[in-house]
Amino acid sequence: MKKRIAIVGGTVAAVAVAGGVSWYLWNHKGSSSEQNKVYVTTVATLMGDVSGTQNRYAGVVEPQKTVKVKVDSSRKIKTVNVKEGDQVKEGDVLFEYDESALQDDLAQAELDLERLKNEASSLQNQVDTLTNEKKEAKEEDQLSYTIEIQTAQMNLKKNEYDQKTKEKQIEKLKSSSGDLEVKSELSGVIKKINESMINSSDSDMDSSESSGSGSETAFITIVATGTYRVKGMINETNMNSIVEGEPVLIRSRVDRDITWTGVMTGVDTKEPDSSSSSMDSMYSSGESSDTQTSSSNYPFYVELDSAEGLILGQHVYIEPDHGQDEVKDGIWLDEFYLVDVDTEAPYVWASSAKDKLEKKSVTLGEYDESLGKYEITEGLTKEDCIAFPDDTLEEGMDTAINSTGQILNNQISDSDLDSSMDSDLDSSMSSMDSSFDSDLDSDFQGEFDSGISVDEEVEP
């Protein structure tokens, strides 16, 4: 019966695991006291923080209104009276059309109309003549006359249409002759002038307009001054968080204590942002992009109660106004720090003078539902230190002040313990495997050199 020589490492592996566990426990010896310590924070620190989570959006200050002045493609520009950056008032002349060119166009249109009328008279005479000749024609020539008459009548109909079109053109040119000046509709700043349109031909302007780019077809762009609004962007996946008419705070990015107030005006779903959103990059991999998993961003706007102090183009934060900036007298504590608020004996977990955890009874006053805060009328001072309630807390546990102002649970969770042990055991196993391989090579190298290999078959 044949068999293979095999090296069984079960015992060695068991020894390695045991050694790794022992090494881990040795390195973590004496840490139980630290794990049982509860971190507390002063009431004054907690009152200085904004409670809960706020939906906050990035925003930018922009003009309340933007006007894009276009050029009549049938007319030529004579003079432009403004330049980029100029301040203009409502009614100021922006540019003027060339009157000489307009008069030339009017004269040409009148000549064209006269020609069409003469052509119509000739066609009508032709129809009358053919109709009379048809009456005297032979039977075999009747069809030919009928075709000629119908063709002339169709040409006459087309001529009548062309005359009506030309008459409208002449009427437009005559009305424009007294309206050579184009004036500003509002007070503001000239943001952009498309100078390429000044000397462009009619065909160039028509081509530009047919391209569908509104920013390119505008000759002059004017932005309103004095009145600002704030523009933000929101992804389609959370558009429902924008509520029209909701009061909001506009907060400075430089100084969070500087704020403005306003109201939401809703999401503009007609103008999605053309740039790729952060959601796109989240779902995409490599250089390809899956249009089925991408999402769009849409602008929303805030109407300001007052824009005093804001600068055009300034970047700000937009957040719902729940009264978070309202300064309250006394001690107001977030409700999640309180235990048994629905009973007659509410309390908090506080640190005693001996740095031991204890239950501290408090007396509750008013409740601010919008902020989720209770007024503490008795039982606490701003110098007291309290802990975040947890089912594992017990009176008498050691406490330590958390200087960062964050509430931390210093107990190692099961997942953290497993992760730490896995890391330590991997290190121990790697070290022991290396040592075992070295010993194995030393002890059995001679047997391998004598001609017996692991895979070699031998007879019993």
pLDDT tens digits, residue range 276-307?
444 343 333 444 445 556 788 999 999 998 88
Pair of tokens at residue 289: 């992009």
Q: Is the pLDDT of residue 26 over 50?
A: no
pLDDT at 268 over 90: no
* pLDDT of 191 over the 70 cut: yes
Round to whole Å and give the CA distance between 4 and 16: 26
d(CA 319, CA 232): 11
Sheet of 93-97, strand order? 77-80, 93-97, 181-183
The pTM assigned to this predicted structure is 0.41
Q: Which residue has the higher pLDDT, 199 or 215?
A: 199
pLDDT for 89 beyond 80: yes
Question: Does 329 or 167 have the greater pLDDT score?
Answer: 167
Look at residue 352 and tell me whether its pLDDT is greater than 70: yes
**Residue 327 clears pLDDT 70, i.e. is over it:** no
User: pLDDT tens digits for 148-169?
Assistant: 999 999 999 999 999 999 999 8
Nearest alpha-carbon partner for 232 in 61, 58, 54: 58
CA distance 392 to 87: 68
pLDDT at 363 over 90: yes
Average pLDDT on 190-217 reads 60
- Provide the strand spans (E) within 25-104: 38-42, 57-63, 66-69, 77-80, 87-88, 93-97
Confidence grade of residue 328 (pLDDT, cut at 50, 70, 90): confident
Cα–Cα distance measured from residue 361 to residue 82, given in angstroms and rounded to the nearest whole number:
73
Predicted pLDDT of residue 178: 65
